[in-house]
């Protein structure tokens, strides 16, 4: 059999894998996952892929109908999921709320409010809100669930930065948001160092211009005009790439800061 024929067969088998077959090869199988912001956008695909790979997924979202609909969709596909609609007031409030739902082996925050205005116009409340939800919340989740992961010798953290916040840059209209997101670089690398001997890995992904159901026609046209090649990145592509990096033992990507932005650079 030729090498080309062998590759063709392997590709065909890959396309026809069932969720149960895929889960047998995943480190996520049998694990319990929390996806904050898991009912829409990139978070929705993260929830679905984790379930396909055998994880039991707990989905947090803001809208009850979206959370319930996704939980039902995952269950119909043979996966395991539960969820709740909960508005996050603060990092401390949300962590106190989560304590009633037990421990998690995989913790993902695909949530973070965005605010665009000149630096001179940010109020103290703006700073508290943006830093609290974009940096303090992931940090609090890490502190809450890291001890259990270290005890069980397994854990995965996945957080999302902003576009181009993998580096220290200047921002004219979203300095507070970018400052908070840039702080995640330190958090993820610190988690990687803390968990390296206990199979606890962490990853920060900085997406570019992503297409999702949250964009209306006008917003999509504006972003497409800025995007490399005029194409937005599918939310599913970002989710799959991020999970593929974490779905390994040992996890070579632990502590990595990964830009998934198609080479985006504003003019």
Domains within the chain, CATH numbers bracketed? 24-259 (3.40.50.720)
pLDDT at 68 over 90: yes
Tokens of residue 253, six digits: 């990507």
Task: Give the tens place of pLDDT for each residue, 114-137.
Answer: 999 999 999 999 999 999 999 999
pLDDT of residue 25: 85
**Residue 223 burial class via C-beta count within 10 angstroms: exposed 0-12, middle 13-18, buried 19 and up:** middle
pLDDT at 267 over 90: no
**From CA 169, how far away is CA 261, in angstroms rounded?**
16
pLDDT at 10 over 90: no
Give the predicted TM-score (pTM) of the model. Answer: 0.90
Long-range contacts for 241-245 (Cβ within 8 Å, ≥24 apart)? 241/205, 242/46, 242/158, 242/203, 242/205, 243/28, 243/46, 243/49, 243/50, 243/53, 243/158, 245/203
């Amino acid at each position: 059999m030729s090498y080309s024929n062998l590759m063709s067969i392997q590709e065909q088998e890959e396309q026809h894998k069932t969720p149960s077959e895929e889960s047998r090869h995943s480190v996520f199988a049998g694990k319990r996952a929390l996806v904050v912001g898991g009912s829409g956008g990139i978070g929705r695909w993260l929830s679905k892929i984790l379930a396909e790979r055998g994880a039991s997924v707990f989905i947090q979202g803001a809208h009850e109908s979206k959370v319930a609909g996704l939980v039902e969709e995952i269950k119909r596909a043979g996966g395991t999921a539960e969820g709740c609609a909960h508005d996050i007031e603060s990092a401390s409030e949300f962590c106190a709320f989560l304590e009633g739902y037990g421990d998690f082996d995989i913790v993902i925050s695909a949530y973070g409010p965005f605010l665009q205005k000149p630096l001179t116009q940010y109020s103290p409340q703006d700073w508290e809100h943006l830093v609290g939800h974009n940096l303090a919340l992931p940090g609090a989740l890490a502190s809450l669930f890291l001890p259990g992961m270290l005890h069980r010798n397994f854990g995965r953290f996945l957080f999302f930065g902003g576009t181009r916040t993998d580096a220290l840059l200047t921002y004219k209209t979203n300095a507070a948001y970018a400052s908070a997101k840039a702080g995640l670089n330190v958090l993820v690398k610190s988690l990687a160092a803390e968990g390296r001997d206990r199979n606890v890995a962490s990853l920060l992904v900085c997406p570019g211009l992503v297409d999702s159901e949250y964009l209306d026609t006008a917003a999509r046209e504006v972003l497409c005009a800025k995007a490399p090649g005029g194409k937005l990145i599918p939310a599913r592509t970002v989710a799959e790439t991020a999970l593929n990096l974490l779905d390994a033992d040992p996890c070579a990507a632990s502590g990595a800061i990964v830009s998934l932005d198609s080479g985006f650079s504003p003019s």
